[in-house]
Structure formats: C-alpha cells, structure tokens
Structure 1
Amino acid sequence: MSGILIVGAGGHAKVVLSTLLASNYHVEGCLDEQPSRWGTSVLGYPVLGGLELLERPDRRAVLAIGNNQARRTLSERYPAVEWVSAVHPQAVVDASVVIGVGSVVFAGAVVQADTTIGNHVIVNTAATVDHDCVLEDYVHVAPGTHLAGQVRLEQGAFLGIGSVATPGITVGEWTTVGAGGVVIRDLLPHSVAVGVPARQRQVKNNDDNHNKA
C-alpha cells in the first residue's frame, strides 16, 4: 500500500506531518496547488507536485489545510481518496469518542467521553473538548480553545485561538468566533462573533470562511 499524501505544504502541513509520523504512519510526501512549492520539502519530506496526483488509484491522504471551506471543496472534489484520520500519541482521547474520516487531533489536545467528531475536523494543539460534544464536519477548533460539555459546533464552524464555549452552547454552521472570544449563548449560522462575551458582529456570505490554522 502506498504512503499517505499530505495535501498542503504550509505551516499547518508541518503539524499534520509530525502527527502522522508520531503515530507511525508511512508518509510519501506533500502535494500543493502552488507550483512554486513543487520540488521543495516540508520537514524533509518532498513536495511531489499538484493535486492531480490524488486521482491515481488507491490514494491515501490527509487535508493539511486550515481553511474549513477549502477542506470541504477538496474532499468533495476527490471522493475516491481514502481520507486518513490521525491522533497524536500525546493527545488524550477517551475510548468512547467517535472520529470521522480525515480528521486530526494534535498534541496536547484532550477529548472527553461520548464526544462525536465528524469528517475533516481539526482539533488543534492543546485544545480541550469536554464530554458529549458534537463537532460536525469541517469544524476547526484552534490551539488553546476550550469547549465545555454538550457543546455543538455545526458544520464548518471555526473557534479562534484561545476561545471558550460554555456548557450546552450551539455555534451555527460556518460561523467564526474570534480569538479569545467567550461564547455564553447560541450563535446563528454564517456569522462572526468576537469579544467577552462573544457578540455577533456580522453575517458572512456562505463562501466567506477564511479561517486558518
């Protein structure tokens, strides 16, 4: 079986790569849409070329892209790829947690009992997700973010670095919470919320989802 391809060759790819290596996966190299990166390397692993390499049979890959909308677009563009999930050995994930395809849980993260993580989700470095949470597809929980119990993050939601969600909160689909925001009430879909407590400042267009690692 061929090694895993990492889709993306930026900073986020470094963290995905280190997670895969720590989990004893065989990595073949990286792919990137920017020709200027072809022939370079990420942590010593080659950037092999563009995404057309995903069209070969029996491809296994991880999307190392922080932008939630971009991960959705690429996962739908290449449905035949076997999308691999990875949990860093220095993360703590309860045995009852369900993790979908293509999702990553980075070092220092904690995911507690009966939480469900969807497809192509990022639980970033040192984030904590308490009991009975639901993280739907394409969610990104940034470094140092803390979710209390029974929080639901709907599809494509992004919680910025160091943000907090209190028990039972729902964050609507494709909503962004700014860095350090404290969410104490439900947030509508397709919106941006910032501050302490987090307040909705605007409603986004459906494709306005430029969150990053």
Structure 2
Amino acid sequence: MIIIGANGHAKDLLQVLTANGETSGLSFFDDVTRDLPPQLYGRFPILRSIDEVGQIFRNDNRFALGVGQPKIRFSLGQKFTELGGSLVSVIDHKADIGQYGVSLGTGLNVMSKVLVSNSVQIGEGSLLNAGVQVHHDVVVGKYTELSPGTIVNGGATIGDFSFLGAASTVLPKVKIGINVVIGAGAVVTQDIPDHSVAVGVPARVIKTNTSEWLLR
C-alpha cells in the first residue's frame, strides 16, 4: 500500500498503521517536499515519481491519503484513482465505532481515540483526527476534516469539503454547509451557510470561503 504524502499527517497515519500491524510492504509518495531521504525513518521507501507509483500498483493498487485539507485530499484521491489505484481507509484498531446504523465511506482516516456513535454517516475521504467525537445521528459529508478534539453533537450535519478546527464544538442538530471553515475552539450554536468562515464563541460568520474550485 502507498500512503500519499510523507510528511505531517502521513507520520500520524504511520503510527496508526503500526499499531494495527499493517506496515508490511508500505511505501510513501511525495513529489512536493524537498530534501526528503530515500526512506522514511530509514525503513519505508519514499516514492518521488508517478512511474514508481505505477510499478507498485501492478502488484498492490491500494493507496491511502496521508495529507490534510479537504481540497488537497479530494484532488489526490481523484488523481491516484485515475492512475488505477484503489482508495482505502485507515482506521485505528482502538477507535470506538458504533455497532448499529453506521455508514463509513471509503478512503477515511480515523485516528486514535476517536468515538463514532450509532446511526452516523461519514462520507468518502473524510479525516477524523485524534480525539474526535461524533455522536448519534450525525451526518459528515465527503472529504471533510475534523481536527483533533472536535466534538460533533447528536443530529448535527457537516457538509462536504468542510474543515473544523481543533477543539471546535458543534451543538445538537446544527447544520454546517458545504466548503465551510470553522475556527479552532469555536462553538457552533446555529446553522452555518455554504462557503463560509466562522470563528468564535458562539461561532459567527466573518467572511466567505473563496475556494474557487467549489464556487464554480
């Protein structure tokens, strides 16, 4: 399997894979970061070209997203799928996942100490970082990122391609739209419209999130 990315979040993902006992044949891909060594931690090959990826895909076409940020995760997911890859999830074996009515999309990252309760939907490509809590009847859209310590209370909805900052809290039944950024530590007490940036306690919209790739 190839982890897309060899820095930052990819290192956190490696910790999950190590705890899960899933590092056999593991390699990383990074054609952006300069001055990387040939191997991560002297053990895991770092691929630098698409040709190298193609060679690996001939025997094992699985890949996981080892980067943050919704736009980047979506773009890389599309790119490596078009190259013949199969996007897979990495889920910490100790994550507390509900047993009833839970729907998990493909390509997720579910990190350590995450709680996902019953009757929850998590969309494709989303990232639930360490210590995230997603309570009953929550819907999280595709390629959405919940930063460490985020709490999403019962019945809330988080739209596609949204980003919730560290230690933010979404109150019950609140709806957060598509392509929304919620600041770190914010408490979201009311609905937030699409393409907004909201911060503070309580969270208030301060500007439009001008991500042109979604506004088109």
TM-score by length of 2: 0.89
Q: 1:196 aligns with which of 184, 196, 201?
A: 201
Structure 1, 113-122 or 47-56: larger mean CA deviation: 47-56
**What is aligned with 2:107?**
102
Output one character per residue of 1:130-166: Cα deviation in whole Å (capped at 9) or x when no partner.
0111111100000001010111111111110000000
* Aligned ranges 1:58-77 → 2 under 5 Å: 58-77=60-79
* Aligned ranges 1:143-154 → 2 under 5 Å: 143-154=148-159
Structure 1 residue runs without a partner (length 5+):
none
In 2: Cα distance, 1:42 partner to 1:68 partner: 27
| 1:27–1:14 CA distance, 2 compared to 1 (3 A) | farther
**What is aligned with 1:45?**
44
Whose Rg is larger? 2
Structure 1, 97-106 or 32-41: larger mean CA deviation: 32-41
Structure 1, 27-36 or 186-195: larger mean CA deviation: 27-36
Given residue 13 of structure 2, which amino acid in structure 1 is its aligned partner? Answer: V
**What is aligned with 1:31?**
29
In 1: Cα distance, 2:147 partner to 2:50 partner: 26
Offset, 1:38? 5.2
**What is aligned with 2:86?**
82
1:22 has 2:57 as partner:
no
1:9·1:42 contact (CA, 8 Å) conserved in 2?
A: no
Structure 1, 108-117 or 22-31: larger mean CA deviation: 22-31
**What is aligned with 2:183?**
178
**What is aligned with 2:95?**
91
Given residue 18 of structure 1, which amino acid in structure 2 is its aligned partner? Answer: Q
| 1:128–1:78 CA distance, 2 compared to 1 (3 A) | same
Could you say which structure has the greater relative contact order, defined with CA pairs below 8 angstroms and 6 or more residues apart?
Answer: 1
Given residue 15 of structure 2, which amino acid in structure 1 is its aligned partner? Answer: S
| 1:69–1:43 CA distance, 2 compared to 1 (3 A) | farther
In 2: Cα distance, 1:51 partner to 1:8 partner: 13
Offset, 1:24? 2.5
2:167·2:185 contact (CA, 8 Å) conserved in 1?
A: yes
TM-score by length of 1: 0.90
| 1:48–1:198 CA distance, 2 compared to 1 (3 A) | same
**What is aligned with 1:121?**
126
SS in 2 for 1:78: helix
Percentage of pairs with the same residue: 30
1:161 has 2:158 as partner:
no
Q: 2:138 aligns with which of 129, 133, 145?
A: 133
1:5 has 2:7 as partner:
no
| 1:202–1:104 CA distance, 2 compared to 1 (3 A) | same
| 1:53–1:134 CA distance, 2 compared to 1 (3 A) | farther
Structure 1, 178-187 or 69-78: larger mean CA deviation: 69-78
In 1: Cα distance, 2:61 partner to 2:40 partner: 20
